[in-house]
């Protein structure tokens, strides 16, 4: 791993951190929105899920395009969409308008996730590929932590719109960073071979400190990207089981991520304190992601993710039992995200490991896209259970089942070499 490769992966980490803040911006803002507009919990659950719906559509459509037109152009287009959605959200005057702007933001985030997952995998060498993808995915909670700290400070002095204004400014700032510092991956150019592939590869090789190559290596047959390949005999089982695991676990994950600020605020704490609990929860998520990444050098990723799923189900259930003070709330939320987020980043590594280059972004996009239906359902189902006067303890038990079902799906993915 040379400095240029490390730099490219680092930019992907920062982009995922940006995704993390942009997704959770609505969570930080939700207590203020509910107070100002008098929004009921059921309706608020729908608003909280709008960008998740957009992420699903964006992953399936925009993300798949990254296998046809390249990772870099899709990243740039998605940044423009995300920035526009964040700026516009600050001007929303009602629930419907805000939901539309959050949908736009989600479209950009969904496409971005598929593209940067492929980009990070393709800039890493084979030895550290899983680790690099996991480090990239760990940028998500880092973005929530840093952005959440800023959001808590903003909410102490300004209203909820300040959160979206901050997000719009930071997202806009990343557009020139990607334009100048993140070229298309060599692996993609070598596989897809656009007419200027050799010149672009040599330009990147020079930036990496290597000499130019005179010709591209011969291929037995041109690599063709296509969603149909994901349902071929060789990939169908992998595609279905990874999608099922992601769908089920993401319901549990986003129940915690989206509802923590509102739950804490309803317990009588301030809006800024509620944001602080979410920040501490994501510190736990970051530590879990990094620890799982290190453990992939010693254990198979699949087994690590199964263990994380079980831990997630247990700690989400514990979170639902209620805590006495902010310290205990922060600790239990942190442990819940420690397991829940480490499972998410482990799944991203499994995506990069399981899908070949020509369908890597499309396969990742498909799994994320379908799985995001679970992400959208999580906050909505929880919101209507709350509105039906179910207690936090009962809601948490139901939502924790998603992680257990995900563990069963990955257990069924067991490879022959792991049978012993």
Please answer whether residues 142 and 308 qualify as being in contact, where contact means their C-beta atoms are separated by less than 8 angstroms: no
Question: 417 pLDDT band (50/70/90 cuts)?
Answer: very low
Q: pLDDT by residue (tens digit) across 30-63? A: 888 888 898 887 788 788 778 878 888 888 888 7
| Homologous superfamily in CATH for domain 3-418 | MFS general substrate transporter like domains (1.20.1250.20)
Q: Which residue has the tokens 């804490």?
A: 264
| pLDDT > 60? residue 221 | no
CA-based angle 415:239:398, to the nearest 5?
Answer: 95
What residues contact 254, with CB distance under 8 A and at least 6 apart? 49, 52, 374, 375, 376, 378, 379
What residues contact 130, with CB distance under 8 A and at least 6 apart? 293, 296, 301, 349, 352, 353
Q: Which residue has the tokens 């809601």?
A: 395
The pair of structure tokens assigned to 101 is: 């702007």
Burial degree of 180 (CB within 10 A; 0-12, 13-18, 19+): exposed
Q: Roughly how many angstroms between the first and final C-alpha of the chain, as a whole number?
A: 33
Average pLDDT, the chain: 85
Give the residue extent of every domain in the chain: 3-418
Task: Check residue 419 and give its pLDDT.
Answer: 40
**pLDDT exceeding 90 applies to what percent of the chain?**
30
CA–CA distances in Å: residue 278 to residues 24, 85, 259, 272: 9, 23, 9, 10
Nearest to 392 by CA among 406, 382, 379: 382
Q: Which has more confidence, 199 or 272?
A: 199
Give the residue-averaged pLDDT of 130-134.
Answer: 83
Q: pLDDT by residue (tens digit) across 340-383? A: 989 998 898 888 888 877 777 778 878 877 877 777 788 888 88
Q: Is 109 helix (H, G, I), strand (E, B) or coil?
A: helix
Please answer whether residues 22 and 105 qualify as being in contact, where contact means their C-beta atoms are separated by less than 8 angstroms: yes
């Amino acid at each position: 791993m040379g400095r240029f490769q490390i730099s490219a992966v680092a930019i992907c980490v920062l982009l995922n951190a940006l995704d993390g803040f942009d997704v959770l911006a609505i969570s930080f803002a939700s207590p203020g929105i509910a107070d100002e507009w008098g929004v009921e919990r059921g309706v608020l659950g729908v608003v909280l899920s709008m960008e998740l719906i957009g992420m699903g559509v964006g992953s399936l459509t925009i993300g798949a395009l990254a296998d046809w037109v390249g990772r870099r152009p899709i990243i740039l287009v998605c940044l423009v969409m995300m920035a526009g959605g964040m700026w516009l959200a600050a001007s929303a005057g009602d629930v419907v308008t805000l939901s539309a702007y959050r949908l736009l933001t989600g479209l950009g985030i969904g496409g971005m996730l598929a593209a940067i997952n492929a980009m990070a995998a393709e800039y890493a060498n084979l030895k550290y590929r899983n680790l690099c993808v996991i480090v990239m995915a760990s940028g998500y909670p880092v973005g929530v932590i840093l952005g959440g700290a800023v959001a808590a400070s903003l909410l102490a002095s300004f209203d909820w719109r300040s959160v979206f204004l901050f997000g719009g400014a930071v997202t806009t700032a990343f557009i020139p960073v990607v334009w100048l510092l993140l070229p298309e991956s060599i692996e993609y150019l070598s596989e897809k071979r656009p007419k200027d592939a050799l010149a672009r590869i040599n330009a990147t090789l020079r930036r990496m400190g290597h000499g130019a190559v005179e010709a591209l290596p011969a291929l037995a047959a041109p690599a063709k990207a296509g969603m149909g390949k994901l349902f071929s005999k060789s990939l169908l089982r992998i595609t279905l089981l990874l999608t099922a695991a992601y769908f089920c676990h993401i319901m549990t994950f986003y129940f915690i991520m989206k509802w923590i600020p509102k739950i804490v605020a309803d317990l009588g704490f301030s809006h800024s304190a509620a944001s602080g609990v979410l920040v501490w929860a994501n510190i736990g998520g970051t530590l879990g992601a990094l620890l799982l990444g290190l453990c992939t050098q010693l254990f198979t990723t699949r087994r690590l993710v199964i263990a994380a799923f079980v831990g997630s189900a247990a700690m989400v259930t514990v979170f639902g039992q209620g805590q006495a003070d902010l310290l205990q709330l922060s600790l239990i939320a942190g442990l819940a995200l420690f397991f829940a987020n480490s499972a998410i980043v482990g799944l991203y590594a499994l995506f990069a490991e399981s899908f070949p280059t020509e369908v890597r972004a499309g396969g990742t996009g498909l799994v994320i896209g379908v799985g995001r239906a679970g992400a959208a359902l999580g906050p909505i189902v929880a919101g209507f259970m709350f509105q039906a006067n179910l207690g936090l303890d009962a809601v948490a038990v139901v939502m924790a089942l998603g992680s257990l079902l995900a563990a069963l799906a990955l257990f069924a993915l067991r490879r022959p070499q792991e049978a012993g």
